Amino acid sequence: MHDLLQEMGRDIVNQESKDPGKRSRLWKAKEISDGTEAVEGISITFDAFHGSTCDVYFPDGLEWLSDKLRYLQWDGYCLESLPSTFCAEMLIELRMTHSKLRKLWDGVQ
């Protein structure tokens, strides 16, 4: 049942706009890389790598996340911290399973 609800939710969000950058949530890696500040939720999973490590490489680190994010799921996040410029005031849920995350941010958010 959970998968059906998730798929229904994705269909509703996809109806917001044909342009992924204007949708409130993104799931596909290509769409995420092209996203804009309109994005409120990001879900990144590497199901194909289940049981192994996924080495995503950010040569300059992750430089930016939208301050309007309300939901962030990034299984296997490869960096030890979130971008220092990220303001999590709108963030409701953060899921970072199997990540290398050691520090979220400095100070109170």
Assess whether pLDDT exceeds 60 at residue 48: no
Mean predicted confidence (pLDDT) in 21-48: 66
**Predicted confidence (pLDDT) per residue in 64-102, tens digit:** 788 888 888 888 888 888 888 888 888 999 998 888 889
8 Å CB contact between 33 and 55: no
Compute the distance between CA of residue 20 and CA of residue 31 in angstroms, rounded to an integer.
6
Name the pTM for this structure.
0.56
SS3 content of the chain, % helix, strand, coil (to 5): 20, 15, 65
**Predicted confidence (pLDDT) per residue in 13-30, tens digit:** 888 888 877 777 776 666
What was the pLDDT predicted at 54? 54
